[in-house]
Amino acid sequence: MSKMAHVIALITIIAIVVLSNAVMAATWIVNNNSELREQLLSANAGDTIILQAASYTGNFEITKALMLKGLEGADIDALGHGSAIKVSASDVAIQGLSIRNWGADLYENDAGIWIAEQTDKITINGNRLVGDGFGIRADDSRELTIRHNRISGNPLLHVLDRGDGIYLNRVEQAVIEFNKIDHVRDGVYIESSKGSLVTNNRFYGLQYGIHYMYSEQDEAYGNVSENVNGGYAIMSSKLVYLHHNRTQNATEYGVLLNITNGARIEFNVLRNIHNPNGQEALGNQGRAMFIYGALDNEIRGNEFAMSDIGIAMAMGGEKNRIYENNFINNLIQVKYVGDELLQWSLAGRGNYWSGYMGWDHTQDGIGAQSYQPNDSMDKLFWRYPEAKFLMNSPVVSLLRWVESQLTVFTVTGIKDDYPLMQPFPINHPVESDMFESEFVYEQ
């Protein structure tokens, strides 16, 4: 046989094998526990298992590249123990199932869907998960796609005793989009991972909407967090791009930058961050943004509005670029207790301050006078909260008035030499379509 004939024969054999595998892929329909368990064991890679409307009880494991698809009314009940579905193979898809009542042991990684280590290309689409432990958990995996799922925890549990809605540990290139997640611990928790995309999700009634820890090169946009402790927490991470998200009605903060470098925080709307039990002396007031030990981050085009504090900054958060943001009607626009005078503007562009009373003599949209959001008395009371009883005294009022009339700038604090006369235009993310009445825990 000539060399060319040998090559043609080899190509023909490969084509026959590929086509045979495609033809051999089968669809299996099950309607009870025993049939489901049998097909999970006997089905071939590439097959589809369709669950008819029925209750399937216990714990199930997928060990081959299969699609598990539920028709309306297909319900998997883990009976309160372990994980409902464990995925131990790559190229698996889970779609259209109702999954509930898995275990609550977070140390054992109890989850509605648990994706085991060294798996990749898992797709979880259009499922309804209700339970106490993790909704979806993945460890040491790649290329996960989690979309259009509804994940609910148990509001009767303390928030820290619940599992996270989606928990990713050492996962690369995950895509998480168009999910609704409520009453869990964190909506999406991402640890020691890289390259995730979290977009257009809705979070309600939980600790943090998205929580990054030791993560890098992640992006999140179009997400909405409501009635949460905090919207988006970026901790010990780098190169995170957080843009066009919304947080409203939170108690701790809208965005937290904690020991984070190289992040871009742009065009987010952070409103009504208020702690009803907050005390200035305890430092637990609601903060639209809290910067703690974070360096070399760009904070631009955000709205910090109607909160206890617009931006609070402490412990080495000085070296960041902060400009073209809107500070609107916060009780305290900025709280910085430090020893430096920081300039919050860049290339002749500062921020919009709702309390700025200056003039624009040149009609270029930039105030003619510099602005310092806090006076000397503010800083005095922050440093010595025990003197707060003097805050409304005539002497303090007189000192504030004198300082404002003389336009005396202190040598420490925040200064904006180019305050904007009008709010910076922000393309707001979509308004939330989530209401409390939608989030009812299903037993």
- Residues in a beta bridge with 212: 190, 234
CA distances from 114 to 135, 138, 268, 319, 373 (A): 8, 6, 32, 41, 49
For residue 304, the tally of other CB atoms under 10 A from its CB is 28
The pLDDT of 372-394, averaged and rounded, is 52
pLDDT at 315: 78
The pLDDT of 239-251, averaged and rounded, is 97
pLDDT at 376: 47
- 438, pLDDT greater than 50: no
pLDDT at 302: 98
Q: Which residue has the higher pLDDT, 149 or 389?
A: 149
Q: Which of 246-260, 382-396, 411-425 has the lowest mean pLDDT?
A: 382-396
pLDDT at 159: 96
- 191, pLDDT greater than 80: yes
Percent of the residues in the chain that have a pLDDT greater than 70, as a whole number: 82
Q: pLDDT tier at 388 (50, 70, 90 boundaries)? A: very low
Q: Which structure tokens are listed for 313? A: 């900054």
- Highest-pLDDT range among 18-27, 272-281, 288-297, 367-376: 288-297
The pLDDT of 340-352, averaged and rounded, is 95
pLDDT at 278: 86
Q: pLDDT tier at 238 (50, 70, 90 boundaries)? A: very high
Q: pLDDT tier at 132 (50, 70, 90 boundaries)? A: very high
pTM: 0.86
- Residues in a beta bridge with 202: 180, 224
Q: Which residues contact 434 (CB under 8 A, 6 or more apart)?
A: 180, 182, 202, 204, 224, 226
Q: Which of 1-10, 184-193, 404-413 has the lowest mean pLDDT?
A: 1-10
Q: Which of 169-173, 303-307, 392-396, 427-431 has the lowest mean pLDDT?
A: 392-396
- 281, pLDDT greater than 80: no
Q: CA–CA separation, 241 vs 223, rounded Å?
A: 13
Q: CA–CA separation, 380 vs 399, rounded Å?
A: 12
CB contact at 8 A, 243 and 268: yes
In terms of phi and psi (left: phi > 0; alpha: psi -120 to 50; beta: otherwise), the region of 73 is left
| Cα angle, residue 80 at apex, residues 74 and 86 outer, rounded to 5° | 65
Q: CA–CA separation, 418 vs 152, rounded Å?
A: 46
- 407, pLDDT greater than 90: no
pLDDT at 394: 58
Q: Give residue-wise pLDDT tens across range 85-116.
A: 999 999 999 999 999 999 999 999 999 999 99
As a whole number of Å, the CA-based R_g of the chain is 27
Q: Which residue has the higher pLDDT, 441 or 276?
A: 276
Look-up: residue for tokens 């949460």? 228
Q: pLDDT tier at 386 (50, 70, 90 boundaries)? A: very low
Residue type, 141: S
